[in-house]
Structure 1
Amino acid sequence: MMIPDLRPDADGDTVADISTHGLEYVHRLDTHDHNGDKNFSFASYYLNHMVLQGSPKQSIIWGYAPSSAVGQMVTIMIDHVAHNFSVPVMQDQTWAAKLDAMNAGGPHTIQASLSGSVIQLSDVLFGDVWLCSGQSNMQMSMIQVDNSTEEIEDTINYPNIRVFVVSDKISTIPLSDLSSDGGILLPWSLPSPATIGGPPFQYFSAVCWLYGKYLYQHLQKPIGLIDTTWGGTPVEAWSAPEVLEKCGVTLSKPSDNKAASSYDVLSGPTDSSVLWNGMVHPLLNMTIYGAIWYQGESNAAYNRDLYNCTFPGMIDDWRKKFHTASDTDATFPFGFVQLAPFEADYSVSSGFPDIRWHQTADYGYVPNHRLRNVFMAVAMDLPDFLSPYQSIHPRFKQDIAARLTLASLAVAYKQDVSYQGPYPVHVIISREPPYKFTQIVVEYTMGLNQKWLDGYEICCAFTSPPVCQQGQSWWLPTATVQTYNRGNITESYAFQCDLENVVGIRYAWRQTPCPFKNCAIYGVDNDLPMPPFTYHDRGFVKQSIGDGRYKVLIK
């Protein structure tokens, strides 16, 4: 019996091996015959060379069948051995099976049979599947990064990493599968200069690839990477309508917001939910291990003040819906890149700083009580003012991916590694001799490598009641560090502001806070930067601790 391969070439003919057809291939799985009926087939993204999620999770296999087969049983075999998977064809002409939990490794062959017809997936690995999404800095491809030639040549050394790229697709309704009309830009492929070193902003995502590569180096297990990205897009386009409604977002597009486009040379679709519908919702039936995200530039001037609701809400919603439709964990690990700098202007204090803060749900760090099982890479100290792709697209994706991987090992894989930079524990405010000025002492979570003294700003408000005012109340401390010791990890700043007027403190609150890897404060043991933060007004609560001193706890 002839077993058909699942992957047609560009002309619709079956082929033995997609790698012989180069990158002109665009998957066009036509699930209907000439009478409008469906063929017996797997869903579009189940292809040779793929990675399915391994143990302890169970992967879902699903597909289509003719109307004449409704009620009949589809039998699944792995490596030609029956696993007692027999599932019925439903009224909508789909079938779905949950496989046993499979140990990491391979290659495996998976067959599905129906009334004598057999379809097959070959060279399938089981491991961890990661979804990579966001706008242009996640879409930015390997050919655009620093040291790209050597990086791309090295890809052939990682045959147990497999890559897949979703085509750009908008939809006004949630799709159940990727579009049959060019829905896949790059089918599941082994890494090579051809599959990883594609055109700029096409394939393959540099952050996604490097993250997967570094993960593999640590875990030594197959890694599947799904790239679903589109440059110049706001979080609203990637979110379901119910998420946006909860956050008070008007379900429309910001096409008349000229400022939004100034943050990204690529202008993608901005309509609410259109990318959630067309590029994420079709993947829900696939069990994944986790997701990483690099986005936020387009929201620096659009719904910026809602991002602390929309972004956490999107994470919650993705988790809920992937879990409902597959065996994906209900709180699967989610990582993101905190925005990198933009332009060599060290004075801009709005836009990007606000988004960086909102990316953490206004905690300043992750994981936290609102964003559990979430990790991040701080990138504010990685400017690339000479980037040929404009400074908003830094080429230093290796540093970003390395920091993201380190955080993933700690949060997603529960390894005992130091993955965060320093962070304040509390601030003590006093006015005591011999100082003439109000003094602030900051205590941290770890020892510091202090590269320079600037970075902190104090809010000194003279209104009644005292309230921080953008651009009017924030001052740099006027004195240098009074005491500093790696052992007791405290710093002291002095400045001219009466104690009662001190109503806020913030750090690195700039669109571009520092030169390359030269912000003020790093961890002494891991050389990771302290993330930016702001605490003021209601978030800056002074508690008397006697002797004219006040303590401000950092949440």
Structure 2
Amino acid sequence: MAVTLFVLFVLLLSSHEADGILRFASYYGDHMVLQKSPERAVLWGYGPEDAHVFLLLIGPTNQKASPVNVTKGIWRVTIDPVEAGGPYTVIVATENSTATLTDVLFGDVWLCGGQSNMYFNMSQIFNASEELAIAAKFPHVRTFMAGLIESKTELTDLTKVELPWAVPTEESVAPFSAVCWLFGRYMYKYLNYPIGLVESCWGGTPVEVWSSSRALKHCGLEEPEDGPKGNSMLWNAMIHPLLNMTIKGAIWYQGEANTYYHTDEYNCSFPAMIDDWRMAFHQGSGGQTAPDFPFGFVQLSTDRKGSADDGFPDIRWHQTADIGYVPNGRMKRTFMAVALDLPDETSPYSTIHPRDKQDVAYRLTLGARAVAYYEKHVPFLGPFPQQILSAATYVNITYDQNVSVTPSKVIFEICCSGTQDPCGPTSKWVQAPIVQWGPTTVQLSAQLCPVTDVVAALRYAWRDWPCDFKACPIYSASGILPAPPFLINHYPGEDNIWIN
């Protein structure tokens, strides 16, 4: 009865709608997805100063929120938790106006950020026509895209929307991020409830532009420059306005621009950005977004074949805070899709933009299932060394899982040294061919080291383009997950067992 009376009240008020300025913030719209329970979704917008705003949720379950006041032109309501599903109608009303959202679903909201490989859209990928033809079969996966905007100061709201919330069709999905859409589609098939995808990315941008001044200061980075590549410019304009939104998590594909810009600082700037986003979204949503929300990312694919020292190996390593894998102690609740085995030599969009985004998105979903949704026993990590044993003529690697091995003479390299200095990417490295292997072990030849030296370091896949398509030598036993690259130093004179 109370709901019916409220609806009648709203309908009476609607005749005066032209007199008011009540509206939702820019990224709310028909067909949107709001974050489901146990979190509480936040709705906000604009209205006449000091007006009382009433909010009503009508759908499978009804909800009437307590009235709130408009303060400095802004109203904000945090609704009670709503289970996944819909559709819902959201109505807000003042004494003189109303605003309405229709066909609203509740599910999990994922933010998709980064540079051009996240911006890379569905019309550009392999099998694009087939993928787009089935988009409409997933009406509960909804998409939204922020416009390309920049600002020297932190904005409260987006000033440009590129693609408003939409029910997927071939036409609406074609210009949307391929990695974001495919991730959402795969996750929907796993979760079987609505998924909201918010794309906010810009090609050619370094991590610094997506980071707040707080995060940059933590890493000792410089003040902003002008343009979309200036520090914090896109954080200010394309991330900060979203902070009130309650989200489930984020996925990220970026780093190419940092292969030649502040490369050595990326092992600080990237983890610091993640930490800062988590803090800011938690505070901005009034504590509804988790303070450690899951953050997935794509470890860089490839660019130039035959190149070793172009920054790609370093950024891949720095993406893990120089640990080699995630999650780890520095990067908790993160997950990673290794993509170095997915090169695209004939990509019409340049080799830095490989068209196989399906495998990238699928590998991200494995990490999300394990880290974000706590699914046990889902394989999401490629093999990583658990123990390394060095001798005069060989190096034995024991992995943390069973491996599938294809012999290679070039992908493992050792650094031979008689000094106490650690080896690095600029040291002299020689190839260490695979000579034997077992269920969890790989033996490498160290015979290219001078007899007076010892193996001082070992690295794997340490070049821009380490192998052809899905043809790296080390995978999980299933052959699905490639081993990530690594660089491990060993000081001469130490025990021959390097790591445990």
The structural deviation recorded for 1:472 is: 4.1
Q: In structure 1, which of residues 314, 317, 329 is the aligned counterpart of residue 290 of structure 2?
A: 329
What CA deviation, in whole Å up to 9, does each residue of 1:276-329 have, x standing for no partner?
000000000000000000000000000000000000000000000000011100
Q: Does 1:240 align with 2:212?
A: yes
Residues 536, 489 of structure 1: alpha-carbon distance in 2 compared, 3 angstrom cutoff? closer
CA drift of 1:136 comes to 0.4
Structure 2: distance between partners of 1:480 and 1:148? 38
Change (3 A) 1:498 1:553: farther
Give the aligned partner of residue 53 of structure 2. 74
Structure 2 counterpart of 1:533:
486
What letter is aligned with 2:463? Answer: R
Give runs of aligned pairs for residues 30-429 of structure 1, distance below 5 A: 39-67=21-49, 70=50, 72-79=51-58, 83-179=63-159, 183-197=160-174, 203-253=175-225, 269-326=228-285, 327-345=288-306, 347-416=307-376, 417-429=378-390
Distance between the aligned counterparts of 1:171 and 1:140, measured in 2? 23
Residues in 2 aligned to 1:328 and 1:208: alpha-carbon distance in whole angstroms: 20
What's the CA shift string for 1:502-535, capped at 9, x where partnerless? 2211100000001111111011125210000111
Q: CA deviation at 1:82?
A: 6.5
Residues of 1 paired with 2:46 and 2:76: CA distance?
Answer: 9
**CA–CA distance in 2 between the matches of 1:362 and 1:426?**
17
TM-score w.r.t. length of structure 2:
0.92
Q: Is the 8 A contact 2:30 2:165 kept in 1?
A: yes
Contact 1:106 1:123 in 2 (8 A): yes
Cα 1:542–1:125 change in 2 (3 A) is: farther
What is the match of residue 485 of structure 1?
Answer: 438
Check conservation: 1:429, 1:499, Cα contact below 8 A: no
Residue deviations 1:187-224, cap 9 Å, x none? 10011111111xxxxx2000000000010111111000
Give the Å deviation of 1:499: 8.0
Change over 3 Å in CA distance of 1:480–1:445 after alignment to 2: closer
Amino acid at match of 1:510: R
SS at match of 1:460: strand
2:402 matched residue in structure 1: 447
Q: Summarize the alignment of residues 514-533 of structure 1 with structure 2, pairs less than 5 Å apart.
A: 514-533=467-486
Find the counterpart in structure 1 of residue 412 from structure 2: 456
Gaps of 5+ in 2: 1-10
**Do the aligned partners of 1:446 and 1:489 also contact (CA within 8 Å) in 2?**
no
Contact 1:542–1:551 (CA under 8 A) maintained in structure 2:
no
Check 1:288–1:542 CA distance in 2 against 1; reply closer, same or farther (3 A cut). Answer: farther
Partner-residue secondary structure (3-state), 2:446? strand
Partner of 1:19: none
Over aligned residues, Cα RMSD in angstroms? Answer: 2.2
Structure 1 pair 449/513, CA: closer, same or farther in 2 (3 Å)? Answer: same
TM-score normalised over the length of structure 1? 0.83
Which digits, 9 at most, give the CA deviation of each residue in 1:318-372, with x for residues without a partner? 0000000111000000000010011222x42340000000001111101000110
Q: Measure, in 1, the Cα distance between the counterparts of 2:351 and 2:115.
A: 15
Q: 5+ residue gaps in structure 1?
A: 6-12, 15-32, 198-202, 256-267, 432-436, 545-549
Q: Does the 8 A contact of 2:462 with 2:485 survive in 1?
A: yes
Partner of 1:547: none
Do the aligned residues in 1 keep the contact of 2:403 with 2:476 (CA within 8 Å)? yes
State the one-letter code of the partner of 1:46.
Y
Q: Alignment partner of 1:553: what SS?
A: coil
Cα separation, 2, equivalents of 1:390 and 1:492: 35
Structure 1's 415 and 497: CA in aligned 2 closer, same or farther, altered over 3 A? farther
Count of residue pairs the alignment pairs up: 483
SS at match of 2:183: helix
CA distance in 2, matches of 1:116, 1:252: 44
Structure 1 residue 39 displacement after superposition: 1.4
Distance 1:3 1:294 in 2: 46
The offset of 1:541, in angstroms, is: 8.3
Asked whether the 8 Å contact 2:52–2:70 carries over to 1, the reply is no
Does the Cα contact within 8 Å between 1:333 and 1:412 map onto a contact in 2?
A: yes
Q: Is residue 21–residue 97 contact of structure 2 (8 Å, CA) maintained in 1?
A: no
CA distance in 2, matches of 1:250, 1:501: 41
Q: Deviations over 1:360-392 (max 9, x none)?
A: 111110100011000010000111010000000
Measure the CA separation in 2 of the matches of 1:297 and 1:90. Answer: 44
Change in 2 beyond 3 A, CA 1:541/1:375: farther
- For residues 381 and 452 of structure 2, the distance between their equivalents in structure 1, rounded to whole angstroms, comes to 32
Shift of 1:446: 1.1
Alignment-derived partner of residue 552 in structure 1: 498
- The 1:499–1:54 alpha-carbon spacing in structure 2 relative to 1, beyond 3 Å, is farther
Task: State the shift of 1:90 in Å.
Answer: 4.0
**Equivalent residue of 1:551, what SS?**
coil
Q: Which amino acid aligns with 2:438?
A: N
Report the equivalent of 1:512: 465
Q: How many percent identity over aligned positions?
A: 44
Q: In the alignment, is the contact (CA less than 8 A) between 1:232 and 1:269 conserved in 2?
A: no
State whether residues 4 and 120 of structure 1, in contact with CA within 8 Å, keep that contact through their aligned partners in structure 2: no
* Structure 1 segments of 4+ aligned residues over 6 angstroms from their partners: 2-5
